[in-house]
Chain A
Amino acid sequence: MTVDLVIAGRRIRLQSGDGVPMEPDERFRAFAVPSDVRPYMFIETSMGILADADPGIVNAAIPFMPAETEPDLVVDVEPGAAEIPAGAVKVFDAQLMKEVPGGVMNSGEPFWEVFRDDEAVRARVFLKDPERRALLEMPHGKMRWRIFAGEGLSRQGSVSGGTPGQHQEKTSDGKVRDLSSARDSAISVNPLPWPLDGLLLYFLFSRSGDIIIHGSGVVAGGRGWLFTGRSGSGKTTLAGIFDRARDRVIHDDRLVLRRDVTGWVMHSTPVYRNDEPRTATLDHLWVIRHGASNVAEPLAGAQAVAMILSNCIQQNWDGEAAARLAAAADDIVASVPVSRLSFLPDGRIRDYLLLRDTEEKRLATRAMSEMLDEGHAVTITAGGYSMWPAIRPGDRVRISPPEEETTPGRGSVVALRRDGGFVIHRVTDVRRGGSADISVTSGSEDQARRDRPADHIGNDGSADHIRTRGDTSLSADPWISSADIAGYVTLVTAEGDAIPVPPRRFPYLAGSIAAAAAQIWNRIAGRK
């Protein structure tokens, strides 16, 4: 039997022998995919100061990143038990922590251990009901691992499988944390009992240079925010505040951070019974703590790296893993704003952050305007999908200041000031100043108005006029004077290659269909 799980975009293939059915816990249900299907990851991305106000386009999500069909990891699941070989060295262990009022307490009971020898790293977990030991074996340098579920005895005999739901734990906000190792059927194997799944994810993502972090990820006002902090700092409280405001919560406990072509992205992981794959770009990372007021201050350099690291899931026995983690945290600090945030646990924190974000956008917009006006070219990361796929979210674009007395040709891509930021659109029509060819064409009155530049920009017939449109926009922008162009997009850098802006590739309608798909997706998935 084969079960494929796609978690944070990585495909984990669990396979067991003939006649050994597997039944993963309920929390994995939404993460399981047929092995021949390429699921699409819906990445919510934000726009930054490159706004994108086309009516037909939703900037929140678009299905454009298929996960691989080839598994990143294959795990052979054996129902029986296995022992740690003699000679293996214990490098790490953890004891069971119990939640008590006001915090957690070490129970002193063994919970899990990690051993290492010349062949492999092995993680052993101590499970209850029935009491057993499961083992995860990870041979060095191989992405084919083995799980020994430790259920050998229970499979043969009289097993009280436990009633489903018996081992679930309600958290303070009423969510059901899925800790179950209970099974409906005594003969199916639970391949990933808690906490073995967490260890497997840790080792998998750690080897790939990704980060697993304790935190709450939300998307508010089109921005992906991650709140991290030590236990009790208010991560769940914050997620609750955003959830009640109908923002999208990616996850409120444990997330995977991965770098992809669009930058750092946060993914949900299976913790609660009703968890599902959710993904958003990481636009700001906040290190949180309760405070007497809402105050944010930027963090930079080594301090920011250290604060991120202290909230990552990590095992300090593996020097290479620690170096990869530190490099990843370093890269986050270099590419994502990181701030310390003290907050009051009421709804005002959301308004505070949204306002702050708006102000930062306004500031950056002013700065970009000034630089262009002074004749500097600028580079900036693009957001939104109106020029997709010529310019994709996460691509870096170079915008050069407009040259005096020149009018762009059709097909060139320009930056225009709009909606308190900039939009990047393609020039579709050019009318030379003084031309008599400014006539009202047939069509609706609205259409006529759009087609007659003079109505929009005054009766100054001497200037050149242009009309622009996003490559995926349903309608064209109004006519403007070519003097209103803020700059020209001269270069696009995607995945390290700098190229001139490619021409429009798809009909406008194709972009609209993609936008519609995004809208539908939002409606289905936007609410829990």
Chain B
Amino acid sequence: MQLPDYNQTFLCKFELIICFMISLSSIPSHSPAVVFRRINDEFLLIPLTDNIADMDSLYRLTETGAFIWELIDGELSVGDITSKVVEEFDVGRDIAEKDALDFFREVQEFLQFREP
């Protein structure tokens, strides 16, 4: 029986996670490879490849996620956005920071980051 070589793909994925770090000073902007849609009070990210929408990989945002998504403008840093989350949702800075970083990591394939 031929066994697939999973080791390799697994390691590649791991390296990617390790190499890619998002900090509070990182400045996110929307990737052109995704569109954001508000449908029936739900917020969706729809990935695009060569302008073809991938309907099997829809990503549903929570209310907080959508709030953050709409703040991303290529100017505000992760830290700036966190401050706005603290104002808007009445949460502690620690929690907001952790949530924001978690969010950015989760949707990082739909974002581009630059350092100031």
Contacts and interface: CB of A to CB of B under 8 A. Distances in A.
Contacts of A476: none
A503 interface: no
A370 B44 CA distance: 12
Contacts of A396: 56
Interface residues of B, number: 27
Contacts of A300: 106
Q: Which residue, of B52, B55, B60, B106, has the highest number of chain A Cβ atoms within 10 A?
A: B55
B90 to A, nearest CB: 21
Given A323-B6, A371-B53, A364 B58 contact: yes
A213 to B, nearest CB: 17
A381 B56 contact: yes
Contact of A366 (B3, B35, B39, B53): B39
Contact of B48 (A49, A328, A376): A376
A302 interface: yes
A209 B7 contact: no
A494 to B, nearest CB: 15
B46 to A, nearest CB: 6
Given A363-B44, A366-B39, A367-B44, A377 B55 contact: no
Contacts of A381: 56
Given A363-B39, A367-B39, A380 B56 contact: yes
Interface string B69-87: 0000000000000000000
A328 B55 contact: no
Nearest to A376: B53
Interface in B1-37: 1, 3-4, 6-7, 9-10, 13, 17, 35, 37
A208 B3 contact: yes
Given A380-B55, A398-B52, A298 B60 contact: yes
B10 A327 contact: yes
A370 B53 CA distance: 11
Interface residues of A, number: 34
A449 interface: no
A362 B37 contact: no
Contacts of A398: 52
Nearest to B2: A208
Contacts of A323: 6-7, 10
Nearest to B44: A367
A367 B37 contact: yes
Contact of B46 (A320, A327, A335, A367): A367
Contacts of A366: 39-40
Interface string A352-386: 00000000001110111011000011111100000
A379 B51 CA distance: 11
A323 to B, nearest CB: 5
Chain B at the A interface: SS class = mixed
A378 B55 contact: yes
A367 B58 contact: yes
Contact of B55 (A49, A72, A143, A207): A49
Contacts of B63: none
B55 A364 contact: yes
A301 B110 CA distance: 14
A379 B56 contact: yes
A72 B52 contact: no
Contact of A379 (B7, B40, B42, B53): B53
Nearest to B50: A377
Nearest to B55: A380
A487 B1 CA distance: 43
A455 B19 CA distance: 63
Given A364-B55, A378-B54, A378-B55, A326 B1 contact: no
Contact of A207 (B3, B9, B53, B106): B3
A366 B43 CA distance: 12
B1 A72 contact: yes
A328 B10 CA distance: 9
A396 B57 CA distance: 12
Contacts of A380: 55-56
A431 interface: no
Contacts of B55: 49, 364, 367-368, 371, 378-380
Nearest to B52: A377
B65 to A, nearest CB: 11
Contact of B106 (A209, A301, A324): A301
A49 B58 CA distance: 13
Given A298-B60, A370-B37, A209 B4 contact: yes
Interface string A458-477: 00000000000000000000
B1 A208 contact: yes
Contacts of B44: 363, 367
Interface string A307-324: 000000000000010011
A330 interface: yes
Nearest to A321: B6
A376 B1 contact: no
Nearest to A50: B55
Contacts of A367: 37, 39, 44, 46, 55, 58
Contact of A363 (B3, B6, B42): B42
Q: Which of A362, A364, A396 has the most CB of B within 10 A?
A: A364
A379 B52 contact: yes
Interface of A: 49, 72, 143, 207-209, 298, 300-302, 320, 323-324, 326-328, 330, 335, 362-364, 366-368, 370-371, 376-381, 396, 398
Given A207-B1, A207-B3, A368-B55, 15 more contacts: A320-B7, A324-B7, A327-B6, A327-B10, A328-B6, A330-B10, A335-B56, A364-B55, A364-B58, A367-B39, A371-B53, A376-B51, A377-B52, A378-B52, A378-B54
12 contacts: A49-B55, A327-B10, A363-B39, A363-B40, A363-B44, A364-B58, A367-B44, A371-B46, A376-B48, A378-B55, A380-B56, A398-B52
